[in-house]
Amino acid sequence: STGPTATRRLPPDAAGIAEAAALLRAGRLVAFPTETVYGLGADATDAAAVAGIFAAKDRPRFNPLISHLADADAALAEGVFDAQARRLATAFWPGPLTLVVPAHPGTRVCDLARAGLPSLALRVPAHPLAQALLAEVGRPVAAPSANRSGRVSPTRAAHVLDDLAGRIAAVLDGGDTMVGVESTVVACLGGAPRLLRPGGITRAALRDVLGLDPASPEAADADRPAGPGMLASHYAPRARVRLDAVRIEPGEAVLLFGAERPAGHETARASLNLSPSGDPAEAAARLFGALRDLDASGAGTIAVVPIPEDGLGEAIRDRLARAAAPR
C-alpha cells in the first residue's frame, strides 16, 4: 500500500522481534538497530519490498543497498570472496564492516537492491537485536541507514520516527546504538582491497589484518564519488556546518571535542561536547544525535572545532565534511 501507515514502535523482546520478522517476511519495511546506526530493512529477495525502501527514503535508485545476514556462512553464500575478503570477514564479522564483493551467480539478493551492479555489499551486524531478527527472517535483509536520503543517520528510534513515521510499518526500538557511525565499507573486487567509506572499523585495524594499507577512497567529489553512494553532500542537518572552527560567532551552535574552547564559545546559542575526555569512540557514538540536537536549537550555523584524525576520528571527519559540503 502507498497510503500513510501508522508506524509501530516494537519492544526489544521476543515478541517485538517476532513481529518485526513477520512484517519483513511479508514484504513490509521495518527499521531496526545495528551497532552502528538504525537500518531501514526490507526483504532483499523481494524487489517490491526493496522498491519501498527507495520510496520511503527518497533515495536515488542508482545507490545500492547493503544486504544484512545473520552470520558469516549466510553472507559467504551470497558473494564471491577472495582471500583478502575472507580474512576481513573472519576478523570483523559480526561487526561494523561491509564487504563489497562480486555477487554470487546464485545470490538471492534482487537486482534492485544492488542497483543493477555485478557487485554486492554484505554485512553481518553484531547488535543482538539485529542478530536475532536476521536469524528469524532467514533471508538477506537490505538496509540503508533509516533516515531520509541526504540527512543525518539515526542512532535511536526517535530519530527514525522523526524522518520516517507514516512511511514504514515499524521500528524495533533497541535504544541508542553503540558505535554511532556507519560501517566501514571495503571493496574486494580483485586487486588490492579499497576503502570506500571509513566507519566503525578503523583503518589501523584493517591494516593489521590485511598487512597493508587499504587503498584510500578518492577525494569526495559530487560528480565522481568513490562509490555509487559516496556523494559529497550527505548527513546534512538543516543548519550550515562550519568545520575546524577556532572562533565562534554570536548565535552559532558549537560542537566541541575535548577540553579546548574556541574563542567566543560563550556567545554560542547552544553547545554540546562529543567527548569531554577527547575519546574518539565516545565522540562517534554521540555525533549524529548531537548534530540533530544542535539543529533543533534553531541556529543557522553549527560550528565544529577541529577533530583529530586518529582512530574513529577519520570516520567522524568524513561525516562532518559531507555535512559541510555545498548542497
Instruction: List, as residue ranges, the binding site for ATP.
Output: 59, 145, 153, 197, 235
What are the start-end ranges of the E strands in 190-311? 194-197, 240-242, 253-256, 270-273, 301-304
Binding site partner of 229, from ligand TXA, Mg ion, none, Cβ cut-off 5-8 A by kind: ligand TXA
What does the H/E/C string look like for 65-102? CEEECCCHHHHHCCECCCHHHHHHHHHHCCCCEEEEEE
Indicate the DSSP class of residue 104: P
Q: At what angle do helices 280-296 and 313-324 cross, to 10 degrees?
A: 20
Residue 230 interacts, among Mg ion, ligand TXA, none and using kind-specific CB cut-offs from 5 to 8 Å, with ligand TXA
- Nearest approach, Cβ of 191 to Mg ion (angstroms)? 26
Residue ranges in contact with Mg ion by CB under 5 A: 145
> What are the start-end ranges of the H helices in 93-216?
128-137, 157-164, 203-210
Question: Which of 23, 37, 50, 287 is close enough to bind ligand TXA by CB under 6 A?
Answer: 37
Please state the residue numbers annotated as binding site: 36, 59, 63, 68, 123, 143, 145, 153, 183, 197, 235
Three-class SS state of 111 = coil
Burial class (CB in 10 A: 0-12, 13-18, 19+), 264: middle
Q: What is the separation of C-alpha 307 from the centre of its chain, rounded to a whole number of angstroms?
A: 20
262, three cell numbers: 574556541
Q: Quick one: which of 260, 262, 309, 318 has its CA closest to 287?
A: 318
* One of 16, 79, 144, 313 touching ligand TXA (CB under 6 A): 144
Work out the angle at residue 257's Cα, subtended by the Cα atoms of residues 251 and 258, and round it to the nearest 5 degrees.
125
Residue type at position 154: P
Q: Would you say 157 or 245 has its CB closer to Mg ion?
A: 157
Which segment (85-93, 140-148, 265-273, 288-296) binds ligand TXA by CB under 6 A? 140-148
Name the segment binding ligand TXA (CB under 6 A); options: 4-12, 83-91, 139-147, 166-174.
Answer: 139-147
Is 230 a residue that touches ligand TXA (CB under 6 A)?
Answer: yes
164-193: which residues touch ligand TXA (CB under 6 A)? 182-183, 185
Quick check: helix, strand or coil at residue 39?
Answer: strand
The correct pick among 28, 123, 159, 322 for binding ligand TXA (CB under 6 A) is 123
Q: Which of 64, 94, 140, 198 binds ligand TXA (CB under 6 A)?
A: 64
Question: Site residues for ligand TXA, window 88-107 (CB under 6 A)?
Answer: 98, 100
* Smallest gap from residue 97 Cβ to Mg ion (A): 16
C-beta of 111: minimal distance to ligand TXA in Å? 12
Site residues for ligand TXA per CB under 6 A: 34, 36-37, 39, 63-66, 98, 100, 114, 117, 119-121, 123, 143-145, 182-183, 185, 196-197, 227-230
